[in-house]
Amino acid sequence: MSAPTVRRRQLGRTLRALRESLGLKQEDVSARSSGALNGAKISRIETAKTAASAKDVAVILDALDVRDGELRSSLLKLTREGSRRGWWQSYRSVLSAAYEDLISLESEATQISTWQPSVIPGLLQTGEYARQIIAATAMSAAAEDRVDALVEVRLARQSVLTREDPLTLWAIIGEAALRTQCPEERIMHDQLSRLLRLAERPTITIQVLPSTSAPHVGQMGAYSILGYGAHADLAVVHVESLTSALYVEDRGDVAVYQDAVERLRAAALSTGQSVDMIREIRDSK
């Protein structure tokens, strides 16, 4: 799945929902646009079979009488980003399509909630820790040869935290991730120190879920929810596996993951207690 496909599916799903909420058929939208777009093209846009231009989307929104400025802006941005060349495209030789998807969606997100039971989230990693994790999870000689480039990519992704309008990150981390034994103790010491510094930022919230916690929904695996402003229908869940990634886009399924992350927040230590635990583990190394 290429990066634009996820965005096109988000866009198409939202436009279709707006049309259906008005009880209109695709031909009705075409008529309202004075024939600027025919029903067949509207159908291809809604089903993500073709990439829409910003002009096409503006015509559809006008035909649907969408006056919500924030919604219009979000959808037009989603459209334009689909054709924009991102910095990560220069790394295409080492990135999987699924990873390109994640970076692309991450670059446009306004908020991310992530649950990571056994690894520090990529957006919070130091370079040396990232190298250890990437090398350890490389499952082929080809992947091992790409470690340097993948470390560069992981660190470049972190620019979303320091851009002019930084995204809001809420990270829930399993205690086991904090106790990873790297070949050199200073690697984890530096990584935990970075967590403590980042926890001071107003746009970053870090909670730790202790290993002694009762059974919880997070035991089903790691995932991240990428959000795009106030419009929940644009949210996407990213579930990563060793060889690929799954993107959950159905609104009902996304809601299940959102409920799960709320449960994890409630089960985890408070932010203050989490900082204390991170510092205690760091200082014991």
Q: What is the pLDDT of residues 138-156, one digit of tens each?
A: 877 767 789 999 999 999 9
Most confident of 64-73, 121-130, 132-141: 121-130
* Token pair for 41: 């093209």
Q: For the chain, what is the domain count? A: 2
Q: Are residues 164 and 262 in the same domain?
A: yes
Measured torsion, CA atoms of residues 156, 198, 110, 165, in degrees rounded to the nearest 10 = -80
Confidence of residue 210 (pLDDT cuts 50, 70, 90): very high
Instruction: Say what the pLDDT of residue 74 is.
Output: 85
pLDDT reported for residue 85:
65
Angle between helix axes 39-46 and 54-63 (nearest 10 degrees) is 110
The more confidently predicted of residues 52 and 224 is: 224
pLDDT band at 5 (very low <50, low <70, confident <90, very high): low
Query: What confidence score (pLDDT) does residue 129 get?
Result: 98
Strand partners, 112: 169, 226
Sheet holding 111-116, edge to edge: 204-209, 168-174, 111-116, 223-227, 236-240, 245-248
72 lies in some domain: yes
Beta strands in the chain (DSSP E): 111-116, 168-174, 204-209, 223-227, 236-240, 245-248
Residue 131 lies in a domain: no
Cβ within 8 Å of residue 136, ≥6 positions away: none
Residues 258 and 236 placed together within one structural domain of the fold: yes
Nearest CA to 280 among 193, 151, 182?
A: 193
Q: Are residues 62 and 177 in the same domain?
A: no
Helix (H) / strand (E) element for 258: namely: helix 251-267
Contact predicate 270/207, CB 8 Å: yes
Q: What CATH number corresponds to the domain at position 42?
A: 1.10.260.40
> Do residues 190 and 55 share a domain?
no
Which domain range does residue 39 map to?
Answer: 3-81
197 shares its domain with 263: yes
**Domain identity same for 166 and 273:** yes
Here the tokens at position 117 are: 């039971």
Q: Are 123 and 161 in contact (CB under 8 A)?
A: yes
The larger pLDDT score, comparing residue 4 to residue 179, is at 179
Domain identity same for 112 and 41: no
Q: What is the pLDDT of residue 84?
A: 61
Give the C-alpha separation, 202 to 141, whole Å.
41
Task: Give me the pLDDT at residue 224, please.
Answer: 97
Q: Which of 65-74, 137-146, 200-209 has the highest mean pLDDT?
A: 200-209
- Which position has the higher pLDDT, 12 or 126? 126
pLDDT tens figures, 102-115: 888 898 889 999 99
Tell me, what's the pLDDT at 159? 97
Q: Is the pLDDT score of 77 beyond 90?
A: no
245-248 and 204-209: which strand pairing?
Answer: unpaired
Comparison of pLDDT for 231 and 97, the residue scoring more: 97
Q: Residues 246, 201: one domain?
A: yes
Which tens digit of pLDDT belongs to each residue from 27-41?
A: 999 999 998 999 999
Q: Region 240-249: what's the mean pLDDT?
A: 84
Q: Which of 192, 209, 194 is nearest to 278 (CA)?
A: 192
Mean pLDDT of 12-31: 93
**Can you give the CATH number for the domain in which 120 is found?**
3.30.870.10
Say which residue, 233 or 87, is predicted with more confidence.
87
pTM exceeds cut of 0.85: no
The Cα 164–Cα 58 span in angstroms is 27
Comparing 179 with 79, the larger pLDDT belongs to 179
Q: Cα 141 vs. chain centroid, distance in angstroms? A: 28
Q: Are 237 and 224 in contact (CB under 8 A)?
A: yes
Q: What is the mean pLDDT of the chain?
A: 90
Q: 3-state class of 13 per DSSP?
A: helix
Domain end: 81, 109, 141, which one? 81
Claim to verify: residue 26 and residue 104 sit in the same structural domain: no
